[in-house]
C-alpha cells in the first residue's frame, strides 16, 4: 500500500502540474531547457560518479559488452545530452497553434488548437541519455513526465533527474512537471500502468520483452514499436547500382538499430545479375547471409534460411534473403512477416512503385531510398521521442508535434441549436 | 474453444479483407454504399418484422419507454438509415490523400498519406440504426468492421446486417469487409477484445457501464466517451440575453443527448441579475433546478445540490447550478467534475474568453455558443461515428477523416544514409 500511494501521488502531482504546463509560454519552457543544459555540464562530475557505480554493478552482473556500451556515459555523451536540450529549446512551440479553421453557415468559427497530451510515462531501459531527451521533449510540448528507467542505470538516471528537476524548480516550472520513480521495485510499474485517471500516455522504450510487458499490463494507451524488421525489395525494374548501394547501406551502415534492413527481397528476373555481386560484397563486409533455396543456388557461402529467419530482428551483421517471383509476393511477405516499421522498394517502374507505396501498411514506406532514414532528425523533426508502428495517433518517428493532441475551439456570437 | 475459434476467424477474415479495402477506389466503395441504401428500402419488410420481434421481447423484459423508443424502427427511420448511407457515399474519400510534403536537403520527398486504420470493432447497444451508420462510415474510410450489437436488438441488427452484407458481396467487396457477431453469448466480446493482432480499434457506443466494461477488458486501443457533463459558464462580462438563450438551448432543446448542459456555472457579480429570471424560465419549461446555497438564496424552488450532482449526467430535464466567484473557480470546477466533452463560456471579455479556451481541457471548448453543436453534422463532417473525449488520435466528433490514420511515404532517387 505504501508503494501504491507513492505511485498514485506521483501521478496525481504530474496531472496537476500538466494543467499549468499546458499554458506556459515558450519563453518560460525554453529558458528552463537551457538552464537544464547548463547544469548538466556544470554538475557533470556527479553524473559521471553515479554512472561509474552503475557500470561497476553491471560488470559484476555480467551484462553484455553492447549493454555496457549503452550504459556508459562520458564527456562527449553528456555534451550531446545538453546539446539535445538546447536543440529542443530552439524548436517551434507546437502548443496553442490554431489550424483547420472553418466558418460554418450559422457563423460559428470552428478551429482545432494543438494541446499537450497531459501526463506521459516513459518506461525505459539502459541508456541514461533517454532521461534528458524525454524530459526535454515532454516539457517543450507542455506535458509533464514520469520517468521509470531500468535498475541497471538507476544511479545515473537519478543523478541526471536531480539536476534537471532542480533546474526546473529554479526556473519556476510547476512542481510535479518532471517526476522519477526512484525505487527499483518492479511492482511500481504495474501500479503506474493502472493510473488511467492521471496518466494519459505510456511510451515504453527498450527491448521487445519490456514493451510486451508494458502493453500487457497497461490500462493506459501505449504507443510503441516492438521491433524493426525492415525490408528492401529489389524490383525487376530496379537500377541495379542503386539497389546495390541501398541494400549495403540499409544493412551495414549501422546494423544495431531498428531501421536497418533485416530481410532482402529480390525479384527473380533481376536476381541472377544482382544477388551474386551483392552477397559477395556483404560477406566481405562481415555480413552472414541466410537465404532461400534460389538465393543459395546463385551465391556462395549462403546458409539456409529457416522459417523463423523471416521474422527475426537480428540487430546485427546477419541478413535474410529471399527471391520472389512477383511484386505481390513481396508485398504479401512484408504483410506476413514485417513489423510495420520501414520498408523500401527499389524500382524505376511507376506502377510497381505506386502499388508498393499504397499496399505496404508500414509506418514508413520508401521508394528508391534506404530504410535508414526513419528517424526524427532525418524527417526534419529536430528530435524524436521514439518511433511508432501503431495505427493510431502517431506513426513513424515522433517529435514535438506527435507529443501534442488537439481540441476543438469554437467561436460564436450567441448561436443556439434549432 | 468453439466460440474462441469463431471470434478469431471473424477477426482474421476482417484483417485480410482490410488489406483489399484499403486500396479500393472511391467509385467501388460508393456504388456498394448506394446499393446498400437501395436494398435497405427494398427489403424493409424483413427488417421491420425482425424489429417487431425485438420490441415484443423488450416489452416482455420491461425495458423503459426511452429504451423502447430507441429500439423501434419504422419507415421514417429506415429512410434515414438509407439516406445516411447515400450521404456517406457523397462525401470525399480521405484514403490515399497525400499531404504535409516536405523536401529534405538530401533530396528526399517525405509526405504523409492517409490510410485506413484497418479493422474496427463496434460494440453497441440498443439503436439498430448504429449498424448501418457504422458500416457506411467504416467502409467509405476503407476499414473492415466487426459489429457486436446488444442482445435487445439482435434480430433487427441481423436483418440489417444480412441486407448490407449481401449488397457488399454483390458489389464485389472482399469477403470479410462487414462482419457481425450473431451470438448473444457475452463471452464473445471478451474474446474479440483480445484479438490485438487482427483488430486495430474498438469503439464502444452505449451507456457508461458498457463502455467501462469494454475499456477494462480490451487489449486493443479503445476510443470512446464515457459521458457528457457539459458546462455553461456565464462570466461576469456576459451579455445577459445571450447567456439566457444559450443556457436554455443547452439544457432544454434536447436534454437526453451527451452535448446537453448538465451544470450551469455563474459568476457571482452577474448572478443576481441573471439567475432568478433564468431559473424561472427553466422551471416553466419543466426543468428541475438543483443549486448551491447562493443559487437557492437568489431563485425560488431550487433544491439543494449535493456533491454528486456536480458529476452527474442527468440526460434529463434536471440542472445543477453553482455560483462561482471567479473564472479560475469555474475552470477548476470543470477540470474536477467535467467529462472533457463540451464546455462553453459566455463573455464579452477578450482575456477571459482566451483564458477559458486555453485552459479548459475538453475536446470541444466554446465561446458564446451552445454546447449542443458538438456533432459531426454541425462540425461539417457530414456524418459521425461517435464522439471522443480521449486525448489521443481523435477528439470531439469523429467522421471519415478520424477513421483514417497516416503513413509516411518517402520518394528518393537512391539516397543512402551516411
Half-sphere exposure of A105 (CA within 13 A, CB side): 4
Angle, CA of B112, B114 and B116, to the nearest 5°: 140
Identify the pLDDT of residue A126: 73
Whether residue A1 is predicted with pLDDT greater than 90 in this model: the reply is no
CB < 8 Å from A in window 104-143 of B: 104, 108, 110, 113, 115, 117-118
Contact between A258 and A228 under an 8 Å Cβ cutoff? The reply is: yes
Contact between B146 and B119 under an 8 Å Cβ cutoff? The reply is: yes
CB–CB of B380 and A102 under 8 A? yes
| Region B80-95 average pLDDT | 96
Identify the pLDDT of residue B65: 87
Q: Which of A203, A215, A377, A415 to mutate to test the interface with B (most CBs of B within 10 A)?
A: A415
Nearest CA in chain B to A246: B416
Chain A contact present for B98, CB below 8 A = no
> H or E element: which one contains A183?
none
DSSP code of residue A324 = E
Whether residue B126 is predicted with pLDDT greater than 80 in this model: the reply is no
The complex scores an ipTM of 0.95
What domains sit in chain B, N to C, each tagged with a CATH number? 2-224+394-411 (3.40.605.10), 230-373 (3.40.309.10)
| Region B165-180 average pLDDT | 97
pLDDT band at B383 (very low <50, low <70, confident <90, very high): confident
Encode pLDDT of A216-275 as tens digits.
Answer: 999 999 999 999 999 999 999 999 999 999 999 999 999 999 999 999 999 999 999 999
CB–CB of B407 and A358 under 8 A? no
Mean residue pLDDT across chain A: 96
Q: Using a CB-CB distance cutoff of 8 angstroms, which residues of chain A are in contact with residue B416?
A: 245-246, 248-250, 253, 369-370, 372
Identify the pLDDT of residue A44: 97
User: What is the share, in percent, of chain A residues with pLDDT greater than 70?
Assistant: 100
Encode pLDDT of B141-167 as tens digits.
Answer: 999 999 999 999 999 999 999 999 999
Single pTM value for the model:
0.95
Give the 3-state secondary structure of chain B.
CHHHHHHHHHHHHHHHHHHHHCCCCHHHHHHHHHHHHHHHHHCHHHHHHHHHHHHHHHHHHCCCHHHHHHHCCCHHHHHHHHHHHHHHHHCCCCCCCEEEEEECCCCCEEEEEEEECCEEEEEECCCCHHHHHHHHHHHHCCCEEEEECCHHHHHHHHHHHHHHHHHHHHCCCCCCCEEECCCCCCHHHHHHCCCCCCCCEEEEECCHHHHHHHHHHCCCCECCCCCCCEEEEECCCCCHHHHHHHHHHHHHCCCCCCCCEEEEEEECCCHHHHHHHHHHHHHHCCCEEEECHHHHHHCCCCEECCHHHHHCCCCCCEEEEEEECCHHHHHHHHHHHCCCCEEEEECCCHHHHHHHHHHCCCCEEEEEECHHHCCCCCCCCCCCCEEECCCCCCCEEECCHHHEEEEEEEEEEEECCC
Q: Using a CB-CB distance cutoff of 8 angstroms, which residues of chain B are in contact with residue A380?
A: 102, 104, 110
Number of Cβ pairs < 8 A linking chain A and chain B: 204
Q: Using a CB-CB distance cutoff of 8 angstroms, which residues of chain A are in contact with residue B242?
A: 413-414
In B337-367, which positions are buried (b, 16+ CB within 10 angstroms) versus exposed (e)?
Answer: bbbbbbbbbbbeeeebbebbbbbbbbbbbbb
pLDDT band at A48 (very low <50, low <70, confident <90, very high): very high
Distance between CA atoms of B152 and B69, rounded to whole angstroms?
A: 12
pLDDT band at B1 (very low <50, low <70, confident <90, very high): confident
Angle, CA of A199, A205 and A208, to the nearest 5°: 115
Distance from CA of A39 to the nearest CA of B (A): 31
CB < 8 Å from A in window 163-202 of B: 200-201
User: What is the share, in percent, of chain A residues with pLDDT greater than 90?
Assistant: 96
Whether residue A208 is predicted with pLDDT greater than 80 in this model: the reply is yes
User: What is the share, in percent, of chain B residues with pLDDT greater than 90?
Assistant: 96
Whether residue B213 is predicted with pLDDT greater than 90 in this model: the reply is yes
| Region B112-121 average pLDDT | 98
Encode pLDDT of A393-416 as tens digits.
Answer: 999 999 999 999 999 999 999 999
| Region A202-217 average pLDDT | 94
CB–CB of A23 and B363 under 8 A? no
Angle, CA of B169, B171 and B173, to the nearest 5°: 60
pLDDT band at B66 (very low <50, low <70, confident <90, very high): confident
pLDDT band at B73 (very low <50, low <70, confident <90, very high): very high
SS3 A166: helix
| Region A29-58 average pLDDT | 97
Nearest CA in chain B to A406: B395
Identify the pLDDT of residue A20: 96
Identify the pLDDT of residue A173: 97
pLDDT band at B349 (very low <50, low <70, confident <90, very high): very high
Identify the pLDDT of residue A67: 86
Q: Using a CB-CB distance cutoff of 8 angstroms, which residues of chain A are in contact with residue B96?
A: 358
Identify the pLDDT of residue A382: 87
Lowest mean pLDDT among A66-70, B78-82, B242-246: A66-70
B342 bridge partner residues: B364
Contact between A371 and A261 under an 8 Å Cβ cutoff? The reply is: yes
Please report the DSSP string for A31-88 in residue order. HHHHHHHHHHHHTHHHHHHHHHHHHHHHHHHT--HHHHHHH---HHHHHHHHHHHHHH
Contact between B340 and B314 under an 8 Å Cβ cutoff? The reply is: no
Amino acid at each position: 500500500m505504501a508503494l501504491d500511494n507513492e505511485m498514485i501521488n506521483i501521478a496525481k502531482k504530474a496531472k496537476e502540474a500538466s494543467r499549468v504546463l499546458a499554458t506556459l509560454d515558450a519563453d518560460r519552457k525554453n529558458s528552463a531547457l537551457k538552464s537544464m543544459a547548463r547544469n548538466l555540464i556544470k554538475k557533470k562530475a556527479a553524473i559521471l560518479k553515479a554512472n561509474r557505480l552503475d557500470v561497476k554493478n553491471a560488470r559484476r552482473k555480467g551484462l553484455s559488452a553492447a549493454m555496457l556500451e549503452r550504459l556508459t556515459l562520458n564527456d562527449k555523451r553528456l555534451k550531446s545530452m545538453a546539446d539535445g536540450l538546447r536543440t529542443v529549446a530552439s524548436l517551434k512551440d507546437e502548443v496553442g497553434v490554431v489550424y483547420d479553421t472553418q466558418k460554418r453557415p450559422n457563423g460559428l468559427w470552428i478551429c482545432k488548437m494543438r494541446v499537450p497530451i497531459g501526463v506521459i510515462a516513459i518506461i525505459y531501459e539502459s541508456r541514461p541519455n533517454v532521461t534528458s531527451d524525454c524530459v526535454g521533449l515532454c516539457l517543450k510540448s507542455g506535458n509533464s513526465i514520469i520517468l521509470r528507467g531500468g535498475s541497471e542505470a538507476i544511479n545515473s538516471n537519478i543523478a541526471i533527474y536531480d539536476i534537471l528537476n532542480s533546474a526546473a524548480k529554479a526556473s519556476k516550472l510547476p512542481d510535479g512537471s518532471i517526476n522519477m520513480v526512484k525505487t527499483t521495485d518492479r511492482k511500481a510499474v504495474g501500479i503506474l500502468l493502472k493510473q488511467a485517471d492521471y496518466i494519459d500516455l505510456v511510451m515504453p522504450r527498450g527491448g521487445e520483452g519490456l514493451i510486451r510487458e508494458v502493453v500487457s499490463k497497461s490500462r493506459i494507451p501505449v504507443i510503441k514499436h516492438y521491433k524493426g524488421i525492415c525490408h528492401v525489395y529489389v524490383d525487376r525494374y530496379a537500377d541495379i547500382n542503386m539497389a546495390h548501394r541501398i541494400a549495403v547501406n540499409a544493412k551495414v551502415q549501422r546494423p544495431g538499430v531498428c531501421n536497418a534492413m533485416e530481410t532482402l527481397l529480390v525479384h527473380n528476373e533481376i536476381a541472377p545479375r544482382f544477388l551474386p555481386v551483392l552477397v559477395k560484397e556483404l560477406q566481405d563486409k562481415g555480413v552472414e547471409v541466410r537465404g532461400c533455396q534460389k538465393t543459395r543456388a546463385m551465391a556462395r557461402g549462403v546458409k539456409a534460411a529457416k522459417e523463423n529467419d523471416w521474422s527475426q530482428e537480428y540487430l546485427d551483421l546477419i541478413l535474410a534473403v529471399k527471391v520472389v517471383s512477383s511484386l505481390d509476393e513481396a508485398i504479401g511477405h512484408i504483410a506476413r512477416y514485417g513489423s510495420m516499421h520501414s520498408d523500401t522498394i527499389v524500382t524505376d517502374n511507376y506502377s510497381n512503385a505506386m502499388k508498393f507505396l499504397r499496399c505496404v501498411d508500414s509506418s514508413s514506406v520508401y521508394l528508391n531510398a534506404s530504410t535508414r532514414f526513419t528517424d526524427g532528425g532525418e524527417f526534419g523533426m529536430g528530435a524524436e521521442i521514439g518511433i511508432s508502428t501503431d495505427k493510431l495517433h502517431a506513426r513513424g518517428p515522433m517529435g514535438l508535434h506527435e507529443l501534442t493532441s488537439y481540441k476543438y475551439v469554437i467561436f460564436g456570437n450567441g448561436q443556439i441549436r434549432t
